[in-house]
Chains A and B, each alone.
Chain A
Amino acid sequence: MKVSYDKCLHCGCCVGACPKNAIYLNDYVLEFNEDCNRCGRCVKLCPVGALVMEAVK
């Protein structure tokens, strides 16, 4: 997941909404763990559109 920290408000919306509990807000940094299944919920509901799904390498 690509996070645009120029936009991110560190509000924790994505953390609480993640169905896999795969995101941790470490101060001002969002950490995604291996449980992320790329469902895209966080991308859609971020209040400021700060998250972008990266293409799988």
Chain B
Amino acid sequence: MPVKNKKLNLKDKYQYLTRDMAWEPTYQKKEDIFPNESFEGIKITDWSQWEDPFRLTMDAYWKYQAEKEKKLYAIFDAFAQNNGHQNISDARYVNALKLFLSGVSPLEHAAFQGYARVGRDFSGAGARVACQMQAIDELRHSQTQQHAMSHYNKHFNGLHDAAHMHDRVWFLSVPKSFFDDARSAGPFEFLTAISFSFEYVLTNLLFVPFMSGAAYNGDMATVTFGFSAQSDEARHMTLGLEVIKFILEQHEDNVPIVQRWIDKWFWRGFRMLSLVGMMMDYMLPNRVMSWAEAWEVYYEQNGGALFKDLERYGIRPPKYQDIANDAKHHISHQAWSTFYQYGHATNFHTWMPEKDELDWLSEKYPETFDKYYRPRFEYWAREHAEGRRFYNNTLPQLCQVCQIPTIFTEKDDPTVLSHRQIVHEGERYHFCSDGCCDIFKNEPEKYVQAWLPVHQIYQGNCEGGDVETVVSKYYHINIGQDNFEYIGSPDHKRWLSIKGKQTGDKESSSSQDAA
């Protein structure tokens, strides 16, 4: 008697629907079909060793993704119908979303393009299917983030042209250049950069404590897209770890190449996450954990366990990890100081923390905050109170690699700015650190081409030579609406009116001169 509805087990189903759908080419050479598979020096001897531990097949993928989407959009509808933006902790919080929409969501789209491309580059069927699913996931993330934030765009400023800003605004060149660097690398470097170093080692820091923070600040829409995206991320992280193990197991010659990529992409990711550190410590009115605490759990503890696991392949923890671990006490404060000074050139508002917030920072950063940062912040708050809100009109020196202004300090002396420079073919280049300088030295041909926003302004390529013209005409930031100090801004006034409070004297609160 035939067995009715006999189901394949997970392993067989994966084998039939993934590997067995591939074929060996007969009338074209494999290296002609996959020309990018070898130039990086990575040696693959047996693609069948590739493991997908989730053993996800396309039919199951569509089923679970559809369920996630239905849940997500039901919440977006409920959020919009109930004016969810009125229930957030404070309108200052929305500024984190402005940074997210212009800084992070376009990266999701860049990741979609990246995985769609590298999926084509591999001759192994398992890798191709994994990249295809991840490409679709990343496109979904980009779209759901824009849908979630479109509700905020109806009620707050600065969210109106995120994709345009991502390509042009000075600080957004930091995340943009990170992904452009990865996408213009070979396929194996791309996977090491994004799947392993970024997704596995570092994205928890972006999505887990920050999204938990969004929940704590009453933002139902963001926490939902964040965690929905993150449910795909668990698969991506697993892929990232499998990719590294697969490459390392294929050939011993791969080990030093992968180690150099891990060193490079850990450092690039760590630098980019300065933005997230600042969002966590300064832009969430209700705080879940400090950046330093998140770094301890998600990098030092989890990353430590990971690199111990990889020891058997001859892989060591990333170079300059000690500098990154020490910097957890500083980077969020240094980044916020910078954005505060350049608040006339941002699509979001900045402010000085209130007293209880300063106290929280003092408590969370006992070694550094009172000594190095609090006095400066209290001075700026006093200046503002006396009608002299500080804006810095000198454009900063940018690092040639990470493109962040050279604002970070030396590990052994937080009163000295970290600055490196080298001369390459008669031209002098500047860096924020040894980490970034090393990356340049390994591939100078790539980084001499960097599009540095400050250089471009001075060269006259941004529709004007003065900050105001660049900000309004080239960046599409609405002056007096999107930028400057939060206190007295249109967003602030709107929030007070939502909460039924008087806005005070409108005339006097508009003194937002950038000198």
Q: Do A and B belong to a common assembly? A: no
